[in-house]
Structure 1
Amino acid sequence: MTDHTDTSNDNVGNTIQADASPVAVNLANTPFHTLTQDTVLDAVESLGYVSDLRVFPLNSYENRVYQVGIEGEAPLIAKFYRPNRWSLQQIREEHTFSLALAELEIPVVPPIANAEGETLFEYGDHRFSLSQRRGGHAPSLDDMDTLYRMGQHLGRIHALGQVEDYSHRPALTLEDFGIRSREYLLANDFIPKTLLAAYQTVSEQLIDKMQSVITNINYRSIRLHGDCHPGNVLQREDSLYFVDFDDSRMGPAIQDIWMLLSGDKTQQQTQFGEILEGYEEFCEFNPTELPLIESFRTLRLMHYAAWLARRWEDPAFPQAFPWFNSERYWAEHIQELREQLFGLDEPALKLPSAI
C-alpha cells in the first residue's frame, strides 16, 4: 500500500514462485502487463522530457513507481496508477490536496503540473503522474526532536485537511476496512479450513467490539494522509518530507498520529507527547479520539490481510509476499487478532497533562 519516493531498487517483476499462488495467473489479465520499460520511457517523454534511458523500479506494489533519468536534469519519479482503483475525480482530489499543502510550504512531494495545470496524464492503457525525487530514510522514532517536528508538519497538514471535505474520496470506516475485509476473505477460500472457525469467531467479536467503541465517540472526519507510517516520512539531514498520499481519505486525526507510534505503551505515551506538542502549534487535537487507536489498529490489520488476498493474482504479490496464504500466516494473523480483543479493553493513551 506504500509508494516510496526514495531510490531503492527493488524489482517487482513477473516471476511467480511455484508454490506461492493458489491459482494459475494469466499475465495478459494482470493490471500492469503492458507496462514495459519502453512504455515507461515513452510515457515520460510524451510530456516533453528527454530521458537518459535509466529506469529504476522502486519499492511499490499497489501502483508501479519508477525513477526515470532525465538528460541534464535531476531524475523524476513516475507513478503509474493501478487500473480501476481510484476514479479520475478521486486521483485529482488527492493531487489538489497535495498541491495545496506544497503551496503552503508544508514538506510534501506533490505531483508536477504541466503548463495547463494538469497533473494526471494518460499513455496507452495507463494513467500516470510525475513528481520530484526526494531521497531519504525513515525517521528515528527515538529522537524527540524528530517526533516534535513530525507533529508540527502533521498539524499543518490537518489544519488544511479540515478546511473542506473530499467530495469523491471515501472515508475510513468499520464497514469498509473491517466488515468488507472479513466478507471478502470468507467468500474467497483464502483461510485454511482448519482455521476458518477460529477466524470467523475472532473477527466477529472484534467487529462487535469496535462497533461499540466507534459509535460512542464523537469525532470529526477530515482529509488525512491516510497511510502515515514512518516509511512514508523521509528524513534527510534536517529535512522531513511526508510522501505518498495515495491512500488519502476522510477520517479522524488520530489515524495519522497513531501510525507514527511504536514500542510498548510507555514508549508510545512518550512519543505521543512529543508529537502532540508540535501538532498543537498548528491544529487543535480532540482528545476524545484517543480510545479509537486500538480499533483503527485492528481495522488496519484486517484490511491488510484482505488487501493481500485481493491482489494475489498480481504477479508482484506472490513474489514480494511469499509467506502470505500459508497456514502459518493465518495462524499468526488470528493470534494477532485475538491479542487485539484484549487491546481494545486496555486503557487508552492520555494527554501529557493528564499523566
Structure 2
Amino acid sequence: MTDNPSQPFYQLMPDTVIDAVESQGYLSDGRILALNSYENRVYQVGIEESQPLIAKFYRPRRWSDEQILEEHAFCFEMAEQELPVVAPLRNEAGESLFNFGDYRFALYRRHGGRAPELSDPDHLYQLGHTLGRIHLIGAVRDFKYRPRLDIQSYGHDSVELIARDFIPASLREAYVSLTADLLREVEAAFKRAGNVRYIRAHGDCHGGNILWRDDTPNFVDFDDACMAPAIQDLWMLLTGDDRNELQLQLCEVIEGYNEFAEFDPRELHLVEALRCLRMLHYSAWLARRWEDPAFPHNFSWFNTERYWGEHLLQLREQFAKLREPVLELL
C-alpha cells in the first residue's frame, strides 16, 4: 500500500511541529532542526530554559495506535528495569502518543552519542550483554498487535510487489527465477533451524540505532519492533566477509548475551536467511514509499536500470552465502 503525497504528513510545516510540541505544555524557543529520518518525520525542537526535545511524527497508515502504544509499552518495561533504551516521554495523564490535528506524534529527550565500534571486541561483548537483558524482557510476553518477521511478509510479498510494478521488463524473468530460488533456500534454512522461539525484538538493530555514550550502548528507535528470533537483533552486529573474523565477532556477542539470556545455537541457521529477507524487504520498502516526494529526492538511484542490475548481482551473491556452512560458536 502506498501513501498519497497530498496527505497532511507531507505538508508538515515548522509552525505545526512547534504548535504540536507546545500542545503538551512545553514552551519552544522557536528553534527547529529536521533530523535524518524517512519513514517518519523527526525534529529537534528547542525548549525555553531546557534541553531540546525530539518530536517524532508517525507516518500515516503505517501503524495503528495499538501497535505504536505496544512499542512504547515495551520501551517502558525496559526503562523500568534500568536498561539503556530511549523511551518516549509521558504526560501527567501517563499518555505517550499524542494527537495534533491530523498528526500523531511522540516526544523524546535528546540523547547524544556515537555509533558503536563493531570491530572492537569490548563493544561487541557489551552489545551482546545489553541485548541479552533486552531479550530477557522481550521473552516475558508476546506482542499482540505488532508484526511477526516471517518469510511471507518480508519475502514473498516483497517479491510480488517488485515483480509486478517495479522491475524492468528486461530483468523481470531473471528476478522472478532468482528470488524463487532464494526463498526456497530461506525456507530450507528456517526448516533446519527448527522450532525456534519468537520474542519481542528491536527488529532493526544496526549501528545507526545504537548510541555509544559513557561506555554504554543506548538503544534507540524501536519503530520496527516485532516478534522475531533473537538472532534478528544480533546478526547485524557482525561485519565483514572474512569467516574467521565473523566467528570471532559472533563469539564476543554471544558471550556477552549469555550472561543474561540463553542463546539457541540453532538460530545460526537463520543469519543469511534473515539477511536475504532484509535485502528483499528493503527494496520493497523503497517501492512502497516511492509516492512520498522525499524518497525520489533522497534515493534518486532507486528504480533505475542500473539499480536493478546491481540488486540482482547482490541477490546472486546472497544465494551463494545461503549455501555456505553456517557460523559456529567456538
- Specify the TM-score bucket, using the shorter chain as the normaliser: over 0.9
Matched, 1:320 2:314: no
* Matches of 2:26 and 2:191, distance apart in 1: 51
1:299 maps onto 2:277 in alignment: yes
Deviation at 1:35, TM superposition (A): 0.9
Where 1:175 maps in the other structure, the secondary structure is helix
Correspondence 1:214 to 2:201 = no
Asked whether 1:105 is paired with 2:82, we answer yes
Q: Which residue of 2 aligns with 1:3?
A: none
Distance 1:147 1:317 in 2: 33
Aligned to 1:22: none
Cα–Cα, structure 1 residues 26 and 220, in superposed 2: closer, same or farther, change >3 Å? closer
Q: Distance in 2 between matches of 1:289 and 1:240?
A: 24
User: Aligned letter for 1:135?
Assistant: G
Deviation by residue 1:298-337 (Cα, 9 ceiling, x = unmatched):
0000000000000011011111111101111100101111
What does the per-residue CA deviation read over 1:46-80, in whole Å, with 9 as the maximum and x for residues that have no partner? 00000011100000000000001000001110000
Any residues of structure 2 matched to 1:161-200 within 5 Å, and which? 161-188=138-165, 190-200=166-176
Are the aligned partners of 2:3 and 2:292 in contact in 1 as well (CA < 8 Å)? Answer: no
CA contact (8 A) 1:269 1:349 kept: yes
> 1:338 matched to which residue of 2?
316
Of 205, 222, 227, 2:181 maps to 205
**Superposition RMSD on alpha carbons, in Å?**
1.4
SS in 2 for 1:334: helix
Instruction: Check 1:61–1:280 CA distance in 2 against 1; reply closer, same or farther (3 A cut).
Output: same
SS in 1 for 2:59: coil
State the 1:28 CA deviation.
Answer: 5.4
Q: Check if 1:350 corresponds to 2:322.
A: no
Structure 2 SS opposite 1:67: strand
CA distance in 2, matches of 1:236, 1:28: 38
Aligned pair count reads 327
d(CA) in 1 for partners of 2:32 and 2:209? 22
2:91: which partner in 1?
114
CA offsets 1:218-253 (integer angstroms, 9 cap, x no match) = 200000000001111111342320110000000100
Q: Percent identity?
A: 55
> 1:290 aligns to what?
268
- TM-score, scaled relative to structure 1: 0.90
Structure 1 or 2: more helix by fraction: 2
- Once the two structures are superposed, the pairs formed by residues 1-355 of structure 1 within 5 Å of their partners are 29-30=6-7, 32-188=9-165, 190-216=166-192, 217-264=194-241, 265-352=243-330
Code of the aligned partner of 2:188: S
Q: Is the 1:31–1:82 Cα contact (8 Å) retained in structure 2?
A: no
Unaligned runs of 5+ in 1: 1-24
The residue number in structure 2 matching 1:13 is: none
Residue type at the aligned position of 2:290: W
Rate the CA distance shift 1:312–1:64 in 2: closer, same or farther, 3 A. Answer: same
The whole-number CA distance in structure 2 between the counterparts of 1:242 and 1:103 is: 14
The letter for the 2-side match of 1:173 is D
Q: Distance between the aligned counterparts of 1:49 and 1:325, measured in 2?
A: 42
CA change 1:31–1:314 in 2 (3 A) is farther
